[in-house]
């Protein structure tokens, strides 16, 4: 199994050229399945993990996320990026402490958002948002300089879909030391190209967590380095569970299980994984 240092080195290498898809498992089994499909790296999902634990998104505790990050990082040979929400603190000093703890989990990267969680003021003021990223960068430089820092502008997700403000913040985040930039919620190729051009040569992450006609090739052609899936894989699984279970409860029929994974296939997958890890 690659060392933590090996994984972090590989994660940085992946961001240097080309474009890779960064899928988001929510437990050990989904992480190992995605690894079997030859993805190059994985990322946790705050929402997918929260749903697994029976919580709404953004309501899990820092310790829960730290434990989950360590669980996924240990479960796979691939680099893992931690969806670390807003750093579980408002002030830069608190963000720095949280980031230091996250780096100790063995992840190869982590992301920090600029959303406040307060519907009346959903985004941190510009200067504070920058200070929070600068503090995260300093914390990593002191504790784990090989951990890749992604800075996220959440305007498109909190009802402030302003591409000019996204550009302003991402450029400032890059100057503050972020390695990768991210504005979840952009949906057009023109928006993607605008963000990529604004912060180049630093890499940009694009999320596709909804049905779209865009393809990996089209997004890559705009210069994006990374495509994450967010909570979409977890929600797709929840959708199958909800549809099949409601059908039984409301109609007494079982058609919702059409297309379900076969036990034999899952047993083979995880049996082969055990052998690779030397577990008989």
Q: What is the pLDDT of residue 1?
A: 85
CATH T-level fold of 4-231: TIM Barrel (3.20.20)
Say how far apart CA 39 and CA 37 lie, in whole Å.
Answer: 6
Q: What integer pLDDT is reported at residue 62 of this predicted model?
A: 98
Give the C-alpha distances (Å, rounded to integers) separating 26 from 73, 75, 232. Answer: 12, 12, 11
Closest CA to 150 of 105, 185, 181, 114: 181
What are the DSSP calls for 69-119, one per residue?
HHHHHHH-SS-EEEE-TTTT-SSHHHHHHHHHHHHTTT-SEEEEE-B-S-T
At 177-194, the pLDDT tens digits run: 999 999 999 999 999 999
State pTM to two decimals. Answer: 0.97
| Helices 28-36 and 263-276, packing angle to 10 deg | 80
- In the beta sheet, which residues pair with residue 151? 112, 181
Mean pLDDT of the chain: 98
pLDDT above 90 for 36: yes
Per-residue model confidence as pLDDT tens digits over 205-260: 999 999 999 999 999 999 999 999 999 999 999 999 999 999 999 999 999 999 99
Phi, psi of 146 (to 5 degrees): -90, 0
What pLDDT, on a 0 to 100 scale, did the predictor assign at position 271?
A: 96
The pLDDT value given to residue 172: 98
Q: Tens digits of per-residue pLDDT, 115-166?
A: 999 999 999 999 999 999 999 999 999 999 999 999 999 999 999 999 999 9
Domain residue extents for the chain: 4-231
> Token match 């930039």: residue?
181
| Stretch (H or E) spanning 243 | helix 232-251
């Amino acid at each position: 199994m690659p060392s933590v240092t090996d994984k972090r080195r590989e994660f940085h290498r992946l961001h240097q050229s080309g474009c890779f898809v960064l899928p988001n498992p929510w437990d050990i089994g989904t992480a190992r399945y995605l690894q079997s499909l030859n993805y190059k790296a994985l990322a946790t999902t705050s929402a997918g993990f929260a749903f697994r634990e029976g919580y709404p998104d953004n309501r899990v505790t820092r310790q829960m996320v730290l434990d989950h990050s360590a669980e996924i990082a240990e479960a796979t040979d691939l680099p893992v990026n931690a969806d670390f929400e807003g750093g579980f603190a408002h002030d830069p000093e608190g963000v720095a402490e949280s980031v230091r703890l996250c780096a100790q989990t063995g992840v190869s990267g982590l992301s920090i958002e600029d959303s406040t969680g307060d519907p009346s003021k959903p985004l941190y003021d510009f200067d504070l948002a920058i200070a929070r990223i600068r503090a995260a960068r300093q914390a990593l430089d002191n504790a784990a300089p090989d951990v890749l820092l992604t800075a996220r502008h959440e305007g498109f997700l909190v009802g402030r879909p302003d591409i000019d403000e996204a550009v302003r913040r991402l450029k400032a985040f890059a100057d503050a030391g972020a390695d990768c930039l991210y504005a979840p919620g952009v949906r057009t190729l023109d928006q993607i190209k605008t963000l990529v051009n604004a912060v180049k040569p630093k890499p940009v992450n694009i999320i596709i967590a909804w049905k779209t006609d865009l393809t990996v090739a089209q997004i890559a052609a705009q210069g994006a380095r990374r495509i994450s899936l967010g909570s979409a894989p977890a929600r797709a699984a929840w959708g199958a569970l909800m549809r099949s279970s409601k059908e039984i409860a409301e109609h007494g029929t079982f058609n919702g299980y059409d297309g379900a994974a076969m036990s034999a296939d899952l047993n083979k997958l995880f049996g082969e994984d055990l052998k690779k890890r030397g577990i008989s």
